[in-house]
Amino acid sequence: MTASSDVDATDETELDDADADERAADPDATGRPAEPLLEVDSLTKSFGGIDALNGVTFDVTAGMLTGLIGPNGAGKSTTFNVISGVFPPDSGTVRFGGEDVTGLAPNETASRGLVRTFQMAREFRNMTVLENLMVAPKAQVGETAWRSVLPGARGAVSDQEEEVFERAWSMLEFFDIDHLALENAGNLSGGQRKLLELARALMLDPEMLLLDEPFAGVNPSLESKLLERIETLRDRGQTFLLVEHDMDLIMEHCERVIVMHQGRTLVTGTPEEVQSQEEVVEAYLGGNVA
């Protein structure tokens, strides 16, 4: 090889190294943000002297489907309740999008783009499926007495209603429940209610969704449909933190997994990394975990 070739090869190697350094320094090049979207730091919460959370710490990267797992009583639902503002923490912080949202009420966290669902769907049973979706979007003008008499005021309401209706119908079609649009939500099956709840949560335009056991009580057919919709949304950039007891589902579909045990964070990593940890096996089998 000539001297010139040696120089060219060296320059090419240096350029490759520089590109790699640039990708590492600028995660946008790989589609990932530089900072976590959700940061949970040292959360504690006690009920009647019993520690439900004891220093829970983890973060969630934007655009990922992250699983939160652990044995019964590990503190998963309490973690969700504290993050979403249902309970205030005794100590610790929750940051979302770089903003401290610790202790904010659920409606305040939702208005910032952090929205959750519940283990048991909480639909408005006496309203139709379509009405359940249309009631969800924030900052709706709504009906008032003065709008009914002031010239032009009713037009703004009508325009907004039409926009919300179109969004709601698109959501119904996306979840394949448009045929149930005029059905009372209380008449839906458990799986259909889970689809409705996720669709309603998305009507809030969330940046991140906390899904608390979305597949519980769902038959395999609807579970597959719901999972397919979640992955489609993830591929579009939606961020999910998912509590689920089906370990095969978590390990197959989540990009990152957080394991809790006895109110604290035990392990975080890829599914492969988590499955290789002996303390995770011990936690699920009831062994002593250091």
Supply the pLDDT for residue 139.
55
The model carries a pTM of 0.78
46 neighbors 52 (Cβ within 8 angstroms): yes
Pairing between strand 99-100 and 91-96?
antiparallel
Supply the pLDDT for residue 140.
54
CA distances from 215 to 65, 106, 170 (A): 15, 23, 23
244 φ/ψ angles, rounded to the nearest 5 degrees: -155, 140
Pairing between strand 264-269 and 256-261?
antiparallel
Q: What is the mean pLDDT of each run of 10 residues along the chain (290 residues)?
A: 45 42 42 74 94 96 95 93 96 96 94 90 89 80 47 56 91 94 93 91 94 88 90 94 91 95 94 90 67
Dist. CA 83–CA 61, nearest whole Å? 15
Supply the pLDDT for residue 13.
41
The tokens describing 252, both together, are 């197959």
Dist. CA 255–CA 258, nearest whole Å? 10
51 φ/ψ angles, rounded to the nearest 5 degrees: -80, 110
Could you tell me which of 37, 112, 119 has the C-alpha nearest to residue 81? Answer: 119
Supply the pLDDT for residue 138.
66
**Domain boundary assignment for the chain:** 35-123+190-290, 126-187
Q: Which CATH class is domain 35-123+190-290?
A: alpha beta
Supply the pLDDT for residue 21.
41
Classify residue 44 as left (phi > 0), alpha (psi -120 to 50) or beta: beta
